[in-house]
Amino acid sequence: MLKVLVKKQLAEVFKKYFYDAKKNKMRSRWAIAAWFLFFFVIMAGLIGGTFAFMSVKLCKGLAPIGMGWLYFLLMSGIAIVLGAFGSIFNTYSSLYLSKDNDLLLSMPIPVSSIIASRLISVYLLGTMYASAAFLPALIVYWVTAGITAARMICGIVLYLIITIIVLLLSCLLGWIVAKISLKLKNKSFITVLASLAFIGAYYFFYFKANNMVKDMIVNAVLYGEKIKGTAYWLYRFGRIGEGDFPAAAIFSAVTALLCAAVWMILSRSFLDITTSEGKTEKVRYVEKTVKERSAFESFLRKEFGRFTSSANYMLNCGLGILLMPAFGVLILINGKAILAVLNEIFTMREGFAEILVCTALCALVSMINPSASSVSLEGKNLWIPQSLPIHPKTVLRAKAALQLILSVPPMLFAVICVTAVMQNPIAEKLMICLIPLLYTVFCTAFGSYLGVKMPIINWTNETTPIKQSGFIAIAIFGSWAITVLFAAFYLWFGYKIGITGYLTLWAVLLAAFSLILFRWLETKGSRRFEEL
Amino acid sequence: MLKIEHLTKTYGEKKAVDDLSLHIHPGEIYGFIGHNGAGKSTTIKSAVGILKFDAGTVTINGKSLTEDPLGCKRDLAYIPDNPDLYDFMSGIKFLNFIADVFAVPAAERQEKIRKYADLFELTGDLAQPISAYSHGMKQKLAVIAAWLHSPKLIVMDEPFVGLDPKASHHLKEMMREHCDSGGAIFFSTHVLEVAEKLCDKVAIVKQGKLVKTGTMDEVKGDDSLEEVFLELEAE
């Protein structure tokens, strides 16, 4: 039974790799291979590469002085945080909110098998993130300190222990979120706030990491002695990577015990949580004066309602709403110093500091992309706009309008902060304002285009259209790639035509592409939406 | 009111609807009967403009669905077989959303919401999110939404599924009233007793093809509708 459920669960997780929703058929072998290669490049190349670089720095400083255990302790901590962070948002919905809960619970399937199959998908996601950080660290250590049988076996055991700790942490956090959300009225907003606090803490440590690493290498012996004295078991944990068999055995046993405890908690509460309707009070209906609205306004309100009803949606498609004002404030406080440093670094390319600020703003606005998911999120409700007397382009306009309303005000705030700090001539300032604003419009058009072009209507968990689909990956990574090109082209040839000329060129390009994409949405896109 | 002529719809190799023609006049309750997979839902979805069809024409209140889809949709209301409504909205927000799209004046919509929500005993739950509704409550909400803009034609796919006996009774009365005031209703059902008592005309579809149509008397003669249906199915 478990095998069948796991197969179903994995088929759902990796559906997009095997199945082409657009053509409604299985992908070819080459296409499947290409999708997996793309995924591998992102995970191993991009994330893994970053951690490999960090590992080399740390390992070279720690391994030769016999502090390999401290290196493993640090890298394990990073892998655990990354793994748990990467899958925390997925855990709650994967474990408890799947649409097939009722169907599976009504069948003669042991609840334990359902939980186990769900846990496997959570485990895979957590392992994926943890591996991106820990596997490079392990390989770097083997290369730097030399490989022995003990180091190899214990290293692999440590890796497995880390993946299980990630799973346990994700489950506990998912369980806590589930317990809390059953008692909350404004679940989505509170979940967003709690998650943002977590993200804030994460990035705080992330940005401090470089200094911490340097400090750690310089004072490795001192810190090492302190940890040995006050947290002996952390020392033993790190020792596993160095080939300490007894430590590996002890921590394997402890992890197994923790696994059993978490399993007990989940098994006891799973049914209650999945079948509970929550304990919020019933809202009494009181007739109020109704305001008549246009069809567009009505659809726009509907899009807002959809966005604010889901913490998952807000967090994954609206994070930039908070990051942009934060960036604006950062520039207001430290902008002059940051620009001075950047100008000093890039003296050969005048104006590159301003280009980098624009790039940062564009990259941040790429993180607001509800329009990419919103067509797919219609899901089984698609019959409503299709059967109503409303032109598909009005529906698509409402979806695009949501993104513009969410992204233009924070972008405006950020560009005002940026221009307040910059000492450039007025024409340059205007262009520095214009580019991020045009990019905001372009991202909206690009996201809307992808949403209509590559929709996934038949999903069982809203996480699929929100964060696990090709269109959302292209919307984010594609937009980031364009911002990278924007900066890179300036370094390459843009500086020759001057900052105003270069920004004008991009303004024309962004405006032209936005117009083309919006035109497509109004014509072919509308027809496509009609036929979904 | 609804004229379907030579409608054909294929899914890959399979013809789901094959050269089907129907004509529903004002004042008629027209039942649509057939086994599972006979092509009822495909015909209905094609007739309301959700599905593109391969051949044939659909005319609603004199307007071609292909040439003037929005004009046609303004004159009709559709209730699907499974009332998947916007779960994140409350019942009242959904009704106002529909009323806004059809530009129903505020006073008129409030009066209708009051009338039908009271009739279906749903008033107390209108402020609740639709996600908290049972299947039957969603069905009632879909019915109220359908009646909100006084459509000329109402197309329903299995409208009685999930409704309690009282609500079913009210819906039947509403259907009759609607047709008596010049409207038309086209609906599919598996409940042959309901069709027999309620419908003025009936069409039986098999493997996408229309096998029998006409007034209830013409179709069933002295037999029951169930006997006629089973006989046709056996052929």
Asked if the structure places residue A287 within a domain, the reply is: no
Query: Is A387 in contact with B73 (Cβ distance < 8 A)?
Result: yes
CA–CA gap between residue B87 and residue B129 (Å, rounded): 7
End-to-end CA distance of chain B, in Å? 32
Length of chain A: 532
Query: Across the strands, what pairs with B215?
Result: B201
Residues A81 and A190 grouped into a single domain: yes
CA distance, residue A402 to nearest chain B CA (Å): 16
Asked if the structure places residue A405 within a domain, the reply is: yes
CA–CA gap between residue B211 and residue A370 (Å, rounded): 48
CA distance, residue A291 to nearest chain B CA (Å): 7
Can you give the pLDDT of all 532 residues of chain A as single tens digits? 777 877 777 777 777 777 776 566 778 888 888 888 887 777 777 778 878 888 888 888 888 888 888 899 989 988 888 888 766 666 777 777 666 777 787 887 888 888 888 888 788 888 888 888 899 999 999 999 888 999 999 999 999 999 999 988 888 877 777 777 666 666 677 777 777 777 777 777 767 777 777 787 788 888 888 888 888 888 999 999 988 999 999 999 999 999 888 888 888 877 777 776 555 567 788 888 888 899 999 999 999 999 988 888 888 888 889 889 999 999 998 888 888 888 888 777 788 888 999 999 999 999 999 999 999 999 889 999 999 999 999 999 999 999 999 999 999 999 999 988 888 888 888 999 999 999 999 999 999 999 999 888 877 778 888 887 788 888 888 899 999 999 989 888 888 888 899 999 999 999 999 999 999 999 999 999 988 8
Mapped onto helix, strand or coil, the DSSP state of residue B156 is strand
B97 close to A (CB below 8 A): yes
CA–CA gap between residue B206 and residue B10 (Å, rounded): 15
Mapped onto helix, strand or coil, the DSSP state of residue A93 is helix
Give chain A's domain count: 2
pLDDT at A86: 66
Residues A243 and A321 grouped into a single domain: no
Query: Is A383 in contact with B93 (Cβ distance < 8 A)?
Result: no
pLDDT at A159: 94
CA distance, residue A386 to nearest chain B CA (Å): 6
Query: Is B127 in contact with A289 (Cβ distance < 8 A)?
Result: no
User: Considering all CA atoms of chain A, what is the largest pairwise distance in Å, rounded to the nearest integer?
Assistant: 78
Q: In this structure, is the dihedral angle defined by the CA atoms of residues A116, A121, A124 and A129, taken in order, positive or negative?
A: negative
Which residue is listed with tokens 């279906």? B120
Asked whether the beta carbons of B50 and B31 are under 8 A apart, the reply is: no
Residues A133 and A25 grouped into a single domain: yes
CA–CA gap between residue A30 and residue A14 (Å, rounded): 16
B106 close to A (CB below 8 A): yes
Of the candidates B42, B108, B11, B101, the one whose C-alpha atom is nearest the C-alpha of residue A389 is B101
CATH for B1-75+152-235, among 2.60.40.2700, 3.90.1150.10, 3.10.129.10, 3.40.50.300?
3.40.50.300
Residues A35 and A156 grouped into a single domain: yes
Q: Between β-strands B55-60 and B2-11, what pairing exists: parallel, antiparallel or unpaired?
A: antiparallel
Name the residue range of residue A497's domain. Answer: 299-530
**From the centroid of its chain, how far is CA A486?**
23
Question: CB-based burial of residue B193 (10 Å sphere; 0-12 exposed, 13-18 middle, 19+ buried)?
Answer: exposed
Which residues in chain B touch residue A296, judged by CB atoms under 8 angstroms apart? Answer: none
Residue type, A461: N
pLDDT digits (tens, 9 = 90+) for B80-137: 988 899 999 999 999 999 999 999 999 999 999 999 999 999 999 999 999 889 999 9
Residues A265 and A348 grouped into a single domain: no
Pair of tokens at residue A263? 């399993």
Residue B79 has pLDDT above 90, yes or no: yes
Q: Between β-strands B184-188 and B29-34, what pairing exists: parallel, antiparallel or unpaired?
A: parallel
pLDDT at A469: 79
Residues A435 and A497 grouped into a single domain: yes
Residues A231 and A379 grouped into a single domain: no
Query: Is A292 in contact with B128 (Cβ distance < 8 A)?
Result: no
Asked if the structure places residue A186 within a domain, the reply is: yes
Length of chain B: 235
CA distance, residue A364 to nearest chain B CA (Å): 28
Residues A164 and A49 grouped into a single domain: yes
The number of CA neighbours under 13 Å toward the Cβ of A187 is 20
Asked whether the beta carbons of B26 and B183 are under 8 A apart, the reply is: yes
Q: Tell me which chain B residue has its CA closest to the CA of residue A295.
A: B101
Interface contacts (A, B; CB < 8 Å)? 89
Residues A319 and A270 grouped into a single domain: no
Beta carbons within 8 Å of B180's beta carbon, 6+ residues apart:
B27
Interface pTM (ipTM) of the complex?
Answer: 0.90
B42 close to A (CB below 8 A): no
Of the candidates A428, A427, A407, the one whose C-alpha atom is nearest the C-alpha of residue A358 is A428
Residues A264 and A327 grouped into a single domain: no
Which residues in chain A touch residue B120, judged by CB atoms under 8 angstroms apart? Answer: none
Query: Is B100 in contact with A388 (Cβ distance < 8 A)?
Result: no
Helix axes A220-230, A187-218, angle to 10 degrees: 120
CA distance, residue B74 to nearest chain A CA (Å): 5
Query: Is A285 in contact with B74 (Cβ distance < 8 A)?
Result: no
Asked whether the beta carbons of B226 and B57 are under 8 A apart, the reply is: no
What element of type H or E holds A102?
helix A101-106
Which residues in chain B touch residue A381, judged by CB atoms under 8 angstroms apart? Answer: 84-86
Q: Where in chain B is the domain with CATH 3.40.50.300?
A: 1-75+152-235
Q: Which of A277, A283, A295 has its CB closest to that of B100? A: A295
Choosing among A187, A285, A293, A458, which should be mutated to test the B contact, i.e. which has the most B CBs within 10 A? Answer: A285
Pair of tokens at residue B148? 């909100």
What element of type H or E holds A460?
none
**From the centroid of its chain, how far is CA A129?**
11
A21, A22, A367, A518, B164 from A470: Cα distances, Å: 11, 11, 15, 21, 43
Query: Is A380 in contact with B84 (Cβ distance < 8 A)?
Result: yes
Asked if the structure places residue A291 within a domain, the reply is: no
Asked if the structure places residue A281 within a domain, the reply is: no
pLDDT digits (tens, 9 = 90+) for B193-228: 888 888 999 998 888 888 888 888 888 777 778 877
Residue that terminates a domain, selected from A274, A289, A313: A274
Which residues in chain A touch residue B108, judged by CB atoms under 8 angstroms apart? Answer: none
CB atoms within 10 A of CB A325: 18
Query: Is A305 in contact with B93 (Cβ distance < 8 A)?
Result: yes
Q: Tell me which chain B residue has its CA closest to the CA of residue A281.
A: B128
Query: Is A292 in contact with B132 (Cβ distance < 8 A)?
Result: no
Residue that terminates a domain, selected from A259, A274, A289: A274
Q: Tell me which chain A residue has its CA closest to the CA of residue B82.
A: A380
pLDDT at A280: 56
CA distance, residue B18 to nearest chain A CA (Å): 20
B153 close to A (CB below 8 A): no
Q: Tell me which chain A residue has its CA closest to the CA of residue B71.
A: A389
Q: Which of A287, A294, A387 has its CB closest to that of B48? A: A387
CB atoms within 10 A of CB B117: 22
DSSP assignment of A381-421: GGHHHHHSSS-HHHHHHHHHHHHHHHHHHHHHHHHHHHHHH
Which residues in chain A touch residue B52, judged by CB atoms under 8 angstroms apart? Answer: 530-531
**From the centroid of its chain, how far is CA B28?**
13
CA distance, residue B221 to nearest chain A CA (Å): 36
pLDDT at A299: 94
Residue type, A232: Y
Query: Is B73 in contact with A295 (Cβ distance < 8 A)?
Result: no
Share of chain B above pLDDT 70, in %: 100
Mapped onto helix, strand or coil, the DSSP state of residue B148 is coil
Query: Is A284 in contact with B96 (Cβ distance < 8 A)?
Result: no
Q: Which of B80, B88, B124 has its CB closest to that of A285? A: B124
Residues A241 and A343 grouped into a single domain: no
pLDDT digits (tens, 9 = 90+) for A116-148: 888 887 888 888 888 888 999 999 999 998 889
B65 close to A (CB below 8 A): no
Asked whether the beta carbons of B75 and A264 are under 8 A apart, the reply is: no
pLDDT at B86: 93
Asked if the structure places residue A416 within a domain, the reply is: yes
Residue type, A13: V
Choosing among B96, B97, B104, B130, which should be mutated to test the A contact, i.e. which has the most A CBs within 10 A? Answer: B97
The b/e string for A90-121 (b: 16+ C-beta within 10 A; e otherwise) is: bbbbbbbbbeebeebeeeebeeebbbbbbbbb
Pair of tokens at residue A249? 């055995």
Query: Across the strands, what pairs with A318?
Result: A368
Which residues in chain B touch residue A294, judged by CB atoms under 8 angstroms apart? Answer: 100
What residue spans of A244-351 are helical by DSSP H? 245-275, 295-309, 311-318, 320-345
Residues A92 and A221 grouped into a single domain: yes
Across the beta sheet with B76-79, the strand order is: B76-79, B153-157, B184-188, B29-34, B201-206, B209-215
Beta-strand runs (E) in A139-257: none
CA–CA gap between residue A419 and residue A77 (Å, rounded): 40
B187 close to A (CB below 8 A): no
Asked whether the beta carbons of B51 and B223 are under 8 A apart, the reply is: no
pLDDT at B232: 75
